[in-house]
Structure 1
Amino acid sequence: MVDTNRITGAVKELGGKVQGAVGDLTGSNRDSFEGRAREALGTAENVYGQAKDTVRHAADQAYDYAEDAYDQGRRYLREGHDQSAEWPHASLLVAGLVGFGLGLLVAKL
């Protein structure tokens, strides 16, 4: 989706170019100056809109990456749970060893 600042900036920039060209053709310094100023403001607004689009795109990509990582973590957790259900004795042995190791650490404190 294109930011509205990009559209309005492009319109102002084009209007400023036209006004500046008309001012140059008619010899009106005022119109020429106002046209150049409007063109510069339009360019700045267009650049601002482009920056907003870039930030929005980066945020969308970060959200997609986070969502993929979350889904992958859920999948790994489910696979681990399924494997522990297949090997209940091994799971109990690992839990016992972890508990024993924690007991040794606490006893030494």
Structure 2
Amino acid sequence: MVDTDRITGAARELGGKAQAGIGDLAGDRRAQVEGRFREAQGQAESLVGEARDGLRDAAEIALDYAEDTYERGRHAARHGARTVTHYVEETPLVALLVAGAVGYGLALLVHGRR
């Protein structure tokens, strides 16, 4: 998608070149200066448009990466939950002991030893 600044900048740059060229031919110093100024404005506007296009493209790429990472995270979480469920079903006593040990450890971290 092309930013409108690029189009208007190119048009202004072209108009400035034409005005400066006419000023050169006619020997009109004011037209030369105004033409060169419009040409510089057009170049600057084109650069702004290019920067906007670049930022838009970078944002789209970042969004694609974020969506991909989110999907991979969801997949990993589902896989982990299935794995834990499988181990709990296979060895419920060990799972209960591990859960108790984790709970005790968290209680020590939160309340500390007295």
TM-score w.r.t. structure 2 length? 0.84
Shift of 1:65: 1.5
RMSD: 1.7
Equivalent residue, structure 1, for 2:23: 23
2:101 corresponds to 1:97: yes
- Aligned-partner residue type, residue 73 of structure 1: G
Shift of 1:35: 0.8
Equivalent residue, structure 1, for 2:41: 41
Q: Residues 15-51 of structure 1, C-alpha deviation per residue, up to 9 Å, x if partnerless?
A: 1111111111121222211111110110111111111
| Count of paired positions | 109
Partner Cα distance (2:46, 2:68) in 1: 33
- Aligned-partner residue type, residue 9 of structure 1: G
Shift of 1:91: 4.4
Shift of 1:72: 0.8
Unaligned runs of 5+ in 2: none
Partner Cα distance (2:49, 2:87) in 1: 57
Identity among equivalent positions (%) equals 52
Unaligned runs of 5+ in 1: none
2:75 corresponds to 1:75: yes
Equivalent residue, structure 1, for 2:86: 86
CA 1:47–1:91 in structure 2 vs 1: closer, same or farther (change >3 Å)? farther
Partner Cα distance (1:44, 1:64) in 2: 30
Partner Cα distance (2:20, 2:52) in 1: 28
Shift of 1:93: 4.1
TM-score w.r.t. structure 1 length? 0.87
Partner Cα distance (2:96, 2:26) in 1: 91
2:56 corresponds to 1:56: yes
